[in-house]
Amino acid sequence: MWLYVNDGGMHALAGAARGAAPTRTSELLRELAWGSDTPQIITLGDLVTSLRHRSFGLVTLVFAVPCALPMPPGIAGACGAIILLIALQMLMGLPGVALPAPLARRGFSRDTFRRVVDRVVPWVQRLERVCRPRLAVTHGRLGEAAIGFTLLVLGTIIALPIPIIGNIPPGIAAIVIAVGMSERDGVVVLVGMAASLLAVALTSAMAWAVIRSLLERV
């Protein structure tokens, strides 16, 4: 079963995201984390529900944020899987994000989400200072497909159980792309896509070092 919206549990958070309609990405993140009605346990399906009226960029950002920080086992992998799904849905030209029900029911505590948002928002705000609508070619169908392919690669890497800091470089690249999408800034999107190449190279090097170490022990 696939869920386009969550059918129970976080209507207050969804309403908070729709009501104030923050103009900047950082404001939206703080509203989601620190809203007075934010529940104790936030499920992945709840987040998609609260952002269903928003762009792919904002949905991607919410799930890329935990990937750029050291997190308890399983969270980065689940978020990476969602980024992968978002990428596939962008490539398919779908209008919104859908999650399989088992994935939509996974969640984390409100305090964990708040800690993550507090650590990432200052970096998002730095990006916002240089963001402005430009390079509209990245906003069309071809640009969306290119972004979708890049996020597909990043999501796949994040979802893999690569040790040490394997999910952090692609998580950071995904955040830059997501902020660029949210702020309609094609230049920032291209910077994020370039950062993706570096992230893939770094993660591949770490993965190969682990594999080589294991082979030497055989």
Burial of 36 (0-12, 13-18, 19+ CB in 10 A): exposed
Q: Six-digit token pair at 141?
A: 């169908």
Coil, strand or helix: which one is 53? Answer: coil
Burial (Cβ within 10 Å: 0-12, 13-18, ≥19) of residue 160? middle
pLDDT of residue 7: 37
Structure tokens at 131: 């963001």
Q: Are 90 and 65 in contact (CB under 8 A)?
A: no
How far is the first Cα of the chain from the last one, in angstroms, to the nearest whole number?
43
Give per-10-residue mean pLDDT for the chain (218 aa): 44 47 73 81 78 73 84 80 90 80 80 85 88 82 91 91 78 93 90 94 82 80
Q: Residue 94, SS3?
A: coil
Name, in order, each residue with C-beta under 8 angstroms of 211's C-beta and a sequence gap of 6 or more: none
| pLDDT score at 10 | 40
Q: pTM to 2 decimals?
A: 0.78
* b (16+ CB within 10 A) / e for 181-201: bbbbbbebbbbbbebbeebbe
Cα–Cα distance for residue pair 204/201, rounded to 1 Å:
5
164 Cβ neighbours under 8 A, 6+ residues apart:
206, 210
Per-residue pLDDT at 23: 66
Can you tell me the distance from the alpha carbon of 21 to that of 11, in angstroms, rounded to the nearest whole number?
A: 15
